[in-house]
A and B are shown apart, each in its own frame.
Chain A
Amino acid sequence: MTVRQPLEVLVLAGGLSHERDVSLRSGRRVADALEDAGASATVHDVDGDLLAAIDARRPDVVWPLLHGSTGEDGSIRDLLELLGVPAVGTGAAGSRISWSKPVSKTILARAGVATPASVTLPESIFREVGARAVLDRVVDRLGLPLVVKPAKGGSALGVSLVTTAEGLPKAMVSCFSYGDVALIERAVTGVELGVSVVDLGDGPRALPPVEILVEDGLYDYDARYNAGRTEFFVPARLGTSVLDAARQVAVTAHQVLGLRGLSRTDLIVDADGTPWFLEVNSAPGMTETSLFPLAAEADGLALPELYRGIAEHAARTS
């Protein structure tokens, strides 16, 4: 398809998800960078005016920077496909698969990637079978510590690290406030990594893995978005073979889950150097403290040109 000059990009940000604030920040950053690269970028919320705005602007490409719920679960992608509008990133099917942590873990495990042992339990099963009995079995089977997280969601919202069996019920209540299904995962101790992948048409390529070191514990909401508490090392302070293995996991995730354009895979590398797949983000955060831009810059890429390249590639190939 022919792309106009300047490239007209409609950045979708906001939405009604719990991650609205992060999405708005991501959207503004990407739009600014696109403008710096000579594109014309407009940020638009997902609201009642959206379809009219798309009709009026007829953008060359839409860049959904929506985090959480309809932004990442494939809904928006389905809508854009319905409208026949080219869009950056993963399509509806890939979004639906990658948005679900249990589903993506299963697919990655089948591809031979290590992922922590886990169970996926909806709120209804506790109601039907009895909470205490189920939680006892969870601890018996997976041991402690555990990580409890919503099966779908991001930004560590609703995530708890559980070190005692007594702490598990409270973690479940926190988790179910964000969603109906919980993923209870054996906690792996090690180096936390975010590995971003970019594909400009010549195949997915992993950017330098970013090591995340939080000075006082969990990489929680504050540690993610309030710069300072978290120290990032790019590339991560790991041996080359381990870094290569981590990159390979991210590329594998990108491929087997059917992701397009860009993604970020979150991993933990244990003491033996094994990278454990935790989850993948088909619409990774692009804020001032996000891992994708950090990795890209460490790779020598200028963000304006990179984002413009991603948008142009999507405009031509969607």
Chain B
Amino acid sequence: MSTQPQAGTRLDPWYGSYSQRTHGMRASEIRALFAVANRPEVVSLAGGMPNIADLPMASIADAVADLLRRDGARALQYGSGQGDPVLRGQIADVMSLEHINAHPDDVVVTTGSQQALDLVARIFLDPGDVVVAEAPSYVGALGVFRAYEAEVVHTPMDAHGLVPEALDEVLTQLAASGRRAKLLYTVPNFHNPGGVTLSLERRPRVIEVARRHGVLILEDNPYGLLGFDGEPLPALASMAPDDVVYLGSFSKTFAPGYRVGWALAPHAVREKLVLASESAILCPSNAGQLAISTYLSQFDWRGQVKEYRRMYAERRDAMVGALQEYLPTCSWTTPEGGFYVWLKLPEGLDAREMLPRAVTSLVAYVPGTAFYADGSGAGHLRLSYCYPTPERIVEGVRRLAGVVNAEADLVAMFGTAPSRTDGVETPGPATP
């Protein structure tokens, strides 16, 4: 005799109702391992959290309290779908530092630039459409493109960023196979995760290639003002305003908590972004916008950005110095701004497979596979230097070196080293 229930349970009565794209979402053990990275014992070189500990919190608190007392009825009310007009004007001023001559009417304020990314994907991408993105590319963008069921085709970078000739070839091949890319997604400054910057010389050439192939450029620029030396480079949007949707953010130049970003777009695109945003969120947070606006008008935000640059440069130096000392078997990019170093492991090592060993050794990073849509990138990893102190960064790299060396021994022992060629062509360790 047997006991035969009619049906089992999936512990999810709605399992049969999800969209196709939801069925592709998998819970990864990598995410679970990152739960350990939050413990203070672990040196997390994984996350990209800005270090905001030195912001003048008490003064900001006073200013925000005053804002609510003065203008609370507006701050806590619904606002314009396009965003607060005063803030849009201030955003235009911020962008002028990158040579962008923007009209506030062409700015759409969003809930972080991540929402702007989502809106652009929403208005341009049908399932199966092609987006060309750097190899590697920002993991959050890949997630958005995947959600809209677009196909990401990667195009190579080198130490000077996107390679225009290679981009031309990728777009030509796509066209030859009867497919046109709709967007070129690029992070031109202090790339996440690549750490490289698109050179000034290449910028017009990238624009020319994209224009010739009829591809809209999506310029994602959260780190542009965080260069360690010299002035910010002119944005692609400053050179070709009709061919570029530009995404900006206050998350790195001020703080991410208010979730205020923006898109700057040609007027026809802008109009559709506003409609799409209204349908998604009605309007961005008025309280957040007015707080940011207050910060920009009452505080020395340029001085704060300068302070951020100094702090992050010190941390970059700590990381690169530690890499030179402890990981001579690896190569890496040396960023001139931003948050990230892209590291190439010795031949045959798999950053994803190695992560549990790293977590056991109390250090965390993001495996390179996160930054590719096609599963490649296992031979690389991203290291963030933005959050830990310089001392902790050095300790983290020291721990990582032990992990890399142990894993290299293991891989050599089992002979599991495949050859790889993907990713940024990382220059060898710079001589001190």
Contact = CB atoms under 8 A, between A and B. Distances in A.
Contacts of B355: 177
Nearest to A290: B11
B35 A169 contact: no
A227 B12 contact: yes
Interface in B4-20: 4-5, 8-12, 15, 18
Interface string B343-370: 0000000100111110110100000000
Interface size band for A: 35 or more
Contacts, number: 124
Interface string A173-185: 1101110000000
Interface in A221-239: 221-222, 225-235, 237-239
Nearest to B4: A237
Contacts of A29: none
Contact of A177 (B26, B35, B356, B413): B356
Given A16-B39, A170-B416, A221-B29, A157 B8 contact: no
A134 B338 CA distance: 48
A19 interface: yes
B10 A231 contact: yes
A227 B3 contact: no
A127 interface: yes
Interface in B416-432: 416
A126 B25 CA distance: 37
Interface string B257-276: 00000000000000000000
A238 B4 CA distance: 8
A296 B416 CA distance: 44
B353 A21 contact: no
A108 to B, nearest CB: 26
Interface string B31-56: 11101100101100000000000000
Given A21-B35, A177-B356, A237 B10 contact: no
Nearest to A239: B2
Contacts of B1: 239-240
A289 B356 contact: no
A178 B360 CA distance: 8
Interface in A20-55: 20-22, 24, 47
A132 interface: yes
B209 interface: no
Contacts of A238: 2
- With a 10 A CB-CB cut-off, give which of A18, A226, A232 has the most chain B CB atoms: A18
A172 interface: yes
A103 B15 CA distance: 39
B27 interface: yes
Given A18-B33, A18-B356, A289 B5 contact: no
Contacts of A131: 413-415
B36 A20 contact: yes
Contacts of A294: 9, 11
A152 B355 CA distance: 17
Interface in B87-136: none
Contacts of B32: 18-22, 155, 157, 221, 225
Given A21-B35, A243-B3, A173 B12 contact: no
Contacts of A230: 10-11
- With a 10 A CB-CB cut-off, give which of B25, B354, B359, B362 has the most chain A CB atoms: B359
Given A21-B32, A222-B27, A243-B3, A177 B12 contact: no
A232 B8 contact: yes
- With a 10 A CB-CB cut-off, give which of B25, B414, B415 has the most chain A CB atoms: B414
Contacts of B12: 227-228
18 contacts: A16-B41, A18-B29, A173-B353, A173-B416, A176-B357, A177-B354, A177-B355, A225-B27, A225-B32, A226-B26, A227-B12, A232-B8, A234-B5, A235-B5, A240-B1, A240-B3, A289-B11, A294-B9
Given A155-B32, A227-B15, 19 more contacts: A16-B36, A18-B29, A18-B33, A126-B413, A131-B415, A157-B32, A157-B356, A173-B350, A173-B416, A177-B354, A227-B10, A228-B11, A232-B10, A234-B5, A235-B3, A237-B2, A239-B1, A289-B11, A294-B11
